[in-house]
Structure 1
Amino acid sequence: MILDEDKQLTPAESQVMKALEMVIDPELGIDLVNLGLIYDVTVTGDTCRVDMTLTTMGCPLTHVLDEAIKQVVTAVEGVEHCEINLVWEPAWDMAKMTRYAKVALGIHE
């Protein structure tokens, strides 16, 4: 989920977040948003910056995810360019997943 819970998303940023729900992690079968891998989206002009992380460093599917992200983000009206900012801090952990993702993966708290 978005790190700064107080951030008000613009309509374009909300559309990007919705579009990112279409990008499924091929190993887990859950979308990147519900997995908690998307930390922030910012749309400025016709460019969107996606701050995100991965479940593990050295993920062999990084290029697959990058292409899928760029495809859905640039399909949002008014967004022509997508910059992906891959970050490792804060580190991802299962607590960042939504309840939906936890239930889908059989994780019970």
Structure 2
Amino acid sequence: MRKRTNEEQNIFELLKGVIDPELMINIIDLGLVYDIRHKPAEEKIEVEITLTSPGCPMGDVIIEDAKQLIENHFRNFKVEILLVWEPAWNKEMLSEAGKKALGSI
């Protein structure tokens, strides 16, 4: 992943507030966020995320929570959450905090 701008880092931090309702771990520590693009000239924010599996029953909830959270902080921007499947998610993508939290489940 390329170096994030300050705004992209702010969005990254915001997304720690989006919790996977099944695992009760935030989507950043789960490693579900692949890329964040803040495009001020276009007034647009794009976030590429994946899910732990294609059949994740909470996928729609996670996507909507992420979109609403960003929209609440960037009211003049169009927010697009792009669901991607490559690379496929695996447990190696967990942060250290995510690994500890998942280990306690």
So what's the TM-score if we normalise by structure 2?
0.89
Question: Cα distance, 1:78 vs. partner?
Answer: 6.2
Within 5 Å, give how 1:51-70 maps onto structure 2.
Answer: 51-70=48-67
Deviation at 1:20, TM superposition (A): 0.4
Which residue of the other structure, out of 98, 101, 105, is the alignment partner of 2:98? 101
The CA deviation string for residues 12-60 of structure 1, in whole angstroms up to 9 with x for no partner, is 1111101100000001000000100000000102211001100010222
Residue 12 (1) aligns with residue 4 (2): no
Aligned residues: 102
SS in 2 for 1:58: coil
- Cα separation, 2, equivalents of 1:44 and 1:91: 26
Q: Offset of 1:65 from its aligned partner? A: 1.1
Task: Report if aligned partners of 1:43, 1:49 keep a CA contact under 8 Å in 2.
Answer: yes
Q: Is the 8 A contact 1:48 1:79 kept in 2?
A: no
Alignment of 1:25-104 (within 5 A): 25-45=20-40, 46-77=43-74, 80-104=77-101
Larger helix percent: 2
User: Residues 73 and 79 of structure 1 are in contact (CA less than 8 Å); yes or no, is this contact kept in structure 2?
Assistant: no
TM-score, length-scaled by structure 1: 0.86
More strand by proportion, 1 or 2? 2
Identical amino acids, percent of aligned pairs: 38
Q: Which runs of 4+ in 1 moved over 4 A?
A: none
The Cα of 1:82 is off from its aligned counterpart by: 1.0
